[in-house]
Amino acid sequence: ELKVEQNPLFLSMQEGKNYTIYCNYSTTSDRLYWYRQDPGKSLESLFVLLSNGAVKQEGRLMASLDTKARLSTLHITAAVHDLSATYFCAAAYSGAGSYQLTFGKGTKLSVIP
């Protein structure tokens, strides 16, 4: 069974600071995803990481994947208030060919002005 652990679960940070969210998964996974969720909304896709060493960046967010360590990180650079949201990582595995996603518990990020 694939398990995904995310930490921290809650993160309060000041604007302008940097921080990293960590995502560990328990078994071999085909792909790693990062999503953002705003209150009352569905998930917005941020990154898809397909291979070891993959690094993707979009604005102040950068995601990386280390398949050997079974670890993905989401790094926030110079946080701004607009980044306040809940961030989920999810790992995919091809169980019965269906490629189900298993989600972490999410990290609620609050950026304080």
Of 14-22, 57-65, 71-79, 101-109: span binding another protein (CB under 8 A): 101-109
What is d(CA 72, CA 103) in angstroms, rounded to the nearest whole number?
13
What residues contact residue 93 under an 8 Å CB cut-off, 6+ apart? 2, 27, 28, 29, 30, 99, 100, 102
33, containing H or E segment? strand 31-37
Supply the minimum distance, in Å, between the C-beta of residue 11 and another protein. Answer: 15
The answer to whether 2 contacts another protein (rule: CB under 8 A) is no
Length of the chain: 113
Residue number with CB closer to another protein (97 or 113)? 97
Contacts to another protein from residues 42-71, by CB under 8 A: 42-43, 45, 48, 50
Which residues contact another protein by CB under 8 A?
Answer: 31, 33, 35, 40-43, 45, 48, 50, 88, 92, 96, 98-106, 108
